[in-house]
């Protein structure tokens, strides 16, 4: 039986898990379930990265020790994945003693090989990303200011692996998906690689170096530490109990940590003479109104909260289906509801009910001869579509996998073919399990192989009635339905309204915000005071069409940092089925005029 390793990133415990973490983990769980049905023995690894200067600083702010703080956040991740019933085999923590032992053994191996040497690092460092930059005052990954660092350090000879890395990606053109990410990596390597600082002396929260080196001031730099968890979890550094899983490894990562996995990790594996991953799957971000989720902005969404309102499988399906892998997606509750109602409630839900109703004229039992008699041409077409799904999974085009599967559902809203439940299982495991029980089949590799035989049909199908699996969703409101008396308490007083600083202003300059498809940066004159306001209206207005127009805005909001800029208010707009429109006065009024 072929063994296979599927990993999420080892999530950094600087904050609680959010929607982006859930998306990555759903992808990994889907791939485990799919490949397990194919008869492979799949080891799904997830966990938390708990060392580094940022964690030490966060712990201090919360009046906790670094380990106490890391343990608290790590448990939130484990609880989240258990809530979503993620089928992980191991949850690693970089504070595990076995992991620390593995890191120290790797250092010894690299030292003996001549890949590590002692020197002095002097340059710029980003605390937020735990990464070094080349004399840049701004981090290229998060746009935050960097700080000057000068300290003794051990270095990994990354530059010595430049040609080997290029050779690897030349021989394995599909090692990184989507392919344009592979091109980015190759281009970066060709610019020249610098040796990598792998230890720090300016803080203590990290894996200590092996004792025989007699370097008590040094701790291992977080990225070497975290990346080695992919093999420490399999026994590297201890008993090597599961190390053979690395022969077919599939890593799922976000685009912001591509360089660390595609360059540093591969070089580390080469240095340790370990197999290099089979594929590195790189996905985009989930944006909120065109902006990356950020605690500082205040637009972070919690996956568990959304699941409790709209259903775990509704959220899982939406995230896997909505955005092509590698591209950014834009999340909204309205889009989730539309996708759920169209795909799950209407298409799949109706198929299940029609399948149950189809049996009534046949006294509750449908024989395969009926299927061949009435649906033979369509059956052949559907089989071909189902067989194409494997190719989409191999290329990690998850949205195309689901798109093609739903085409079959849409086309066969009145026929029977049990194998579709197997293809559904990796995406919606709970629903597929209920359907499998209804269809009297077991979701296991043996059954999968039997049902996947060409032209396989059960001799007969007998079904009991089934309740609707996917009742239509409606948006959950923040308040419950009120009685007239309670509704009176929902009114605000005039004094509350008067606290709002609503004014009319003229847009004197408008331009697109870099790295955002939706945000415009507006300079608005409010009677001699020009304010900068960022607004997600780029889909509806071009910058040139706005200059000189008057708008209404709310000004007494706290400033919000967004993509390196600061927004000092909010322009007012209204949305309907035809799109979004800015609120403007009927006639020209003085800039700074109060709205009341």
CA distances from 268 to 212, 237, 249, 338 (A): 22, 15, 15, 45
What pLDDT score was predicted for residue 156? Answer: 96
Q: Could you give the CA distance from residue 343 to residue 454 in angstroms, rounded to a whole number?
A: 27
Mean pLDDT of 340-365: 76
Closest CA to 255 of 328, 163, 197, 318: 328
Closest CA to 448 of 405, 419, 414, 412: 419
Confidence bin at 410 (pLDDT 50/70/90) = confident
Of 163-172, 298-307, 492-501, 527-536, give the range with the top mean pLDDT.
163-172
Confidence bin at 263 (pLDDT 50/70/90) = very high
Bridge-based pairing state of the strands 530-535 and 550-554: unpaired
Q: Could you give the CA distance from residue 239 to residue 237 in angstroms, rounded to a whole number?
A: 7
Mean pLDDT of 413-442: 78
Whether omega before 16 lies within 30 degrees of 0, making that bond cis, reads no
CB-based contact 60:341 (threshold 8 Å): no
Higher pLDDT, 129 or 286: 286
Tens of pLDDT, residues 315-335: 999 999 999 989 999 999 999
What secondary structure letter does DSSP report for 593? P
Q: Could you give the CA distance from residue 45 to residue 254 in angstroms, rounded to a whole number?
A: 16
The count of C-alpha atoms lying within 13 angstroms of the C-alpha of 567, restricted to the half-sphere facing its C-beta, is: 23
Q: How far is CA 256 from the centre of its chain?
A: 11
What pLDDT score was predicted for residue 319? Answer: 96
Could you tell me the two tokens for 40? 């492979």
Domains and CATH numbers, the chain: 3-283 (3.40.50.620), 338-462 (1.10.730.10), 494-582 (2.40.50.140)
Buried b (16+ CB within 10 A) or exposed e, 515-548: ebebbbbbbbbbeeeebebbbbbbebbeeeebee
Least confident among 59-73, 111-125, 274-288, 451-465: 451-465
What pLDDT score was predicted for residue 352? Answer: 82
Sign of CA dihedral 390, 394, 400, 402: positive
Q: What is the pTM of this model?
A: 0.76
Could you tell me the two tokens for 131? 């990464």
Tens of pLDDT, residues 539-570: 889 999 998 899 999 998 888 877 778 889 99
What pLDDT score was predicted for residue 459? Answer: 59
**What is the rounded average pLDDT for all residues in the chain?**
87
Tens of pLDDT, residues 433-473: 988 888 778 888 888 877 776 666 665 667 777 788 888 88
Confidence bin at 484 (pLDDT 50/70/90) = very low
Q: Could you give the CA distance from residue 541 to residue 361 in angstroms, rounded to a whole number?
A: 56
CA distances from 460 to 130, 367, 457 (A): 60, 4, 8
The CA-CA-CA angle for residues 263, 265, 271, to 5°, reads 100
Higher pLDDT, 290 or 246: 246
């Amino acid at each position: 039986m072929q063994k296979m390793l599927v990993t999420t990133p080892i999530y950094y415990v600087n904050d609680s898990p959010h929607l982006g973490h859930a998306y990555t983990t759903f992808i990994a769980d889907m791939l485990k379930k799919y490949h397990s049905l194919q008869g492979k023995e799949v080891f799904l690894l997830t966990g938390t990265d708990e060392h580094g200067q940022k964690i030490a600083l966060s712990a201090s702010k919360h009046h906790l020790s670094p380990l106490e703080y890391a343990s608290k956040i790590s448990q939130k991740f484990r609880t989240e994945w258990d809530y979503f019933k993620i089928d992980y085999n191991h949850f690693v923590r970089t504070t595990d003693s076995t992991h620390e032992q593995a890191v120290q053994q790797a250092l010894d191996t690299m030292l003996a090989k001549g890949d590590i040497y002692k020197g002095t690092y002097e340059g710029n460092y980003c605390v937020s990303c735990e990464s070094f930059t080349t004399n840049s005052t701004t981090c290229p990954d998060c746009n935050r200011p960097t700080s000057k660092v000068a300290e003794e350090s051990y270095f990994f000879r990354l530059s010595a692996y430049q040609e080997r890395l290029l050779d690897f990606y030349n021989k394995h053109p599909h090692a990184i998906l989507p392919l344009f990410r592979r091109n980015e990596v190759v281009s970066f390597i060709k610019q020249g690689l610098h040796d990598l600082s792998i230890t720090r002396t300016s803080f203590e929260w990290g894996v200590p170096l092996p004792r025989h080196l007699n370097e008590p001031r040094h701790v291992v730099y977080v990225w070497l530490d975290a990346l080695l968890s992919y093999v420490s979890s399999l026994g590297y550094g201890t008993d090597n109990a599961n190390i053979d899983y690395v022969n077919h490894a599939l890593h799922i990562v976000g685009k912001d940590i591509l360089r660390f996995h595609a360059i540093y990790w591969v070089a580390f594996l080469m240095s340790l003479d370990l197999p290099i991953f089979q594929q590195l799957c790189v996905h985009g971000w989930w944006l909120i109104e065109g902006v990356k989720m950020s605690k500082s902005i205040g637009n972070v969404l919690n996956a568990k909260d959304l699941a409790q309102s709209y259903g775990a499988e509704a959220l899982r399906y939406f995230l896997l289906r909505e955005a092509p892998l590698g591209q950014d997606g834009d999340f909204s509750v309205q889009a989730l509801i539309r996708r759920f109602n169209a795909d799950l409630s209407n298409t799949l839900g109706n198929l299940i009910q029609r399948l149950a109703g189809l049996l009534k004229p046949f006294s509750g039992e449908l024989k395969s001869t009926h299927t061949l008699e009435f649906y033979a041409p369509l059956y052949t077409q559907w089989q071909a579509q189902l067989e194409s799904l494997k190719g989409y999974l191999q290329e990690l085009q998850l949205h195309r996998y689901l798109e093609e599967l739903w085409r079959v559902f849409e086309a066969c809203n009145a026929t029977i073919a049990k194998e579709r439940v197997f293809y559904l299982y990796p995406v919606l495991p709970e629903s597929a399990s209920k359907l499998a029980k209804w269809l009297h089949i077991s979701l296991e590799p043996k059954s999968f192989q039997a049902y996947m035989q060409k032209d396989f049909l059960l001799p007969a199908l007998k079904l009991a009635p089934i309740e609707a699996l996917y009742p239509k969703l409606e948006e959950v409101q923040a308040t419950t339905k009120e009685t007239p008396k309670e509704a009176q308490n929902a009114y605000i007083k005039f004094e509350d309204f008067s606290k709002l600083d609503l004014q009319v202003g003229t847009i004197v300059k408008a331009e697109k915000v870099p790295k955002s498809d939706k945000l415009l940066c507006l300079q608005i004159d409010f009677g001699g005071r020009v304010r900068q306001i960022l607004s997600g209206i780029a889909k509806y207005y071009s910058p040139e069409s706005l200059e000189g127009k008057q708008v209404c805005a709310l000004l007494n909001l706290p400033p919000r940092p967004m993509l390196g800029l600061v927004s000092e208010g909010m322009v007012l707009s209204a949305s309907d089925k035809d799109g979004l429109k800015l609120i403007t006065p009927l006639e020209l009024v003085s800039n700074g005029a109060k709205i009341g």
